[in-house]
Structure 1
């Protein structure tokens, strides 16, 4: 079910009502119904929430991530406006279908609309089943393109299951689309069974261990990422917040130790997002139910803040 933006989330410190150099995002955000048509050139930034954690439940994880989109928006609202891109909050999609796949299809249609309207589209989760919905929207917007899927994640999320879960998105993409490839950055050996590594080898999935990203991004890894971007027509970029060490991001569906630092994630993103091929960016698995002092929501909001071009 599509729900329009919750305007009362957008509040914050008021430094000035007239000096735009002191404005915060709550003062400049615009609200629209994504189903409406506007006679405008492609511009600005679209933000759409995936208020869904049914996939986490089906994946036997701890629920609460459906509260993530609003928690991120509320924190983002008080951050200062640095770049002048017009930002539109289109609200959220909720799960009210019998099957999760139907919610993903609904969300995917709206993702395609945002991609067609805006220079950047940001998708806020919610469980990482948002990634399959993000893919559906990307494929709808670019029916003939080769799609490179880049995921910053501790997990492959290529489990085999009868239907969609938060752990199956990337297997679903690869199994149904021979013009899609997958690269994962931040994989943890302790977070994936041997069968998932075997599947990665069989499918030619590229991956980089979290251990290889401890302090800096080495030239070979930079080359790996840049070649992957170069080799595809369109890039779908997604970040699972459980890739980040629990000291920085405790509020996730599957928290872990020995994860990435936020600064490494920002450095990786700098190698990806500025490219015009990046059609959409999703931030998944922010779970306020388990957060401490809003650490994870604040980090997700700051990623969004830094990713806007």
Structure 2
């Protein structure tokens, strides 16, 4: 594959080979990119956590995520489908500057713009990193397509902190996108907001900008299918939809390895169900998963959750392929 300026091979790679002729693992399915090959989806790693408000080792997530690939197969039992109908490649990691967050964000934006331009038929799935990466990813997507982009955000937090108070961080991506004119407020749906994780002033900001917010309690009361269906209807006028999963939307009992753990969160089944539904929606054009810190995790429990989220989302992409 012709090099992309700010992409380099992943820190963790597999030598290949097949241990069981009747089983395909993720490590066997996800290829190293080949020249002129056509891929249905690609994986991008963004190992950035310096921009996290609280201490975070989320830069370790892409590497840990890849290390688990030999442990999972490409077969979804309940849906009776196998990912081998899709062709996937690991495009590697976006280069990060040692100290300069602004340079890191420029590299992310330029990489997503080039990937979206050169591989317009390939679905990019990004493994973060902290949530600050979502703003440059969507900016890069916007620069490549020029389309009206909607966002479905799963998160315990609004992520609309004031950019003048601390600069771009994992608490600012949504505000960054709105104030830069990249995305309209009414084209954003945030699902999973928790009590005691936000402020009234930031709620006022979100409501003033037209951001539609659904709390975790509302999800538990109404059911996740109803909530996701509502989000899809609201964003139907958009040309394409970007989905971002902050893993801290889940309850702390499921994900000990996220920086902002808290009770009253969503369940893995709710997030997995959403991932299948949104992966199968043709309007969705890109996805990311952020805010897993393997350095404080237990037996990679939280990374295994994010990997299963990836697997369920790809299951949705396979359902599109079958139509």
String of CA shifts for 1:158-183, please: whole Å, max 9, x gaps.
00033211101110100111653211
Aligned equivalent of 1:107: 108
From the superposition, tell whether residues 179 and 260 of structure 1 become closer, same or farther in structure 2 (CA, over 3 Å): closer
String of CA shifts for 1:95-140, please: whole Å, max 9, x gaps.
3165312211211222233334143211001100111121122112
Runs of 5+ unmatched residues, structure 2: 1-5, 75-81, 318-323
Distance in 2 (alpha carbons) for counterparts of 1:221 and 1:213: 7
Distance in 2 (alpha carbons) for counterparts of 1:141 and 1:113: 7
From the superposition, tell whether residues 218 and 45 of structure 1 become closer, same or farther in structure 2 (CA, over 3 Å): closer
Conserved 8 A contact 1:47-1:121: yes
TM-score, normalising length: structure 1: 0.88
Quick check: 1:136 aligned with 2:146?
Answer: no
- Which of 147, 150, 165 does residue 148 from structure 1 map onto? 150
- Which of 273, 281, 287 does residue 281 from structure 1 map onto? 287
Question: SS of 1:107's equivalent?
Answer: helix
Aligned equivalent of 2:260: 254
From the superposition, tell whether residues 282 and 13 of structure 1 become closer, same or farther in structure 2 (CA, over 3 Å): same
Quick check: 1:32 aligned with 2:38?
Answer: no
| Number of residue pairs matched by the alignment | 296
More relative contact order in 1 or in 2 (CA 8 Å, sep 6+)?
1
Quick check: 1:263 aligned with 2:269?
Answer: yes
Aligned equivalent of 2:77: none
Instruction: State the Cα distance separating 1:260 from its structure 2 match.
Output: 0.4
Conserved 8 A contact 1:115-1:280: no
Conserved 8 A contact 2:272-2:308: no
Question: SS of 1:189's equivalent?
Answer: coil
From the superposition, tell whether residues 86 and 220 of structure 1 become closer, same or farther in structure 2 (CA, over 3 Å): closer
TM-score, normalising length: structure 2: 0.85
From the superposition, tell whether residues 290 and 94 of structure 1 become closer, same or farther in structure 2 (CA, over 3 Å): farther
Aligned equivalent of 2:67: 74
String of CA shifts for 1:264-309, please: whole Å, max 9, x gaps.
1122223322122212110000100111121101111111112112
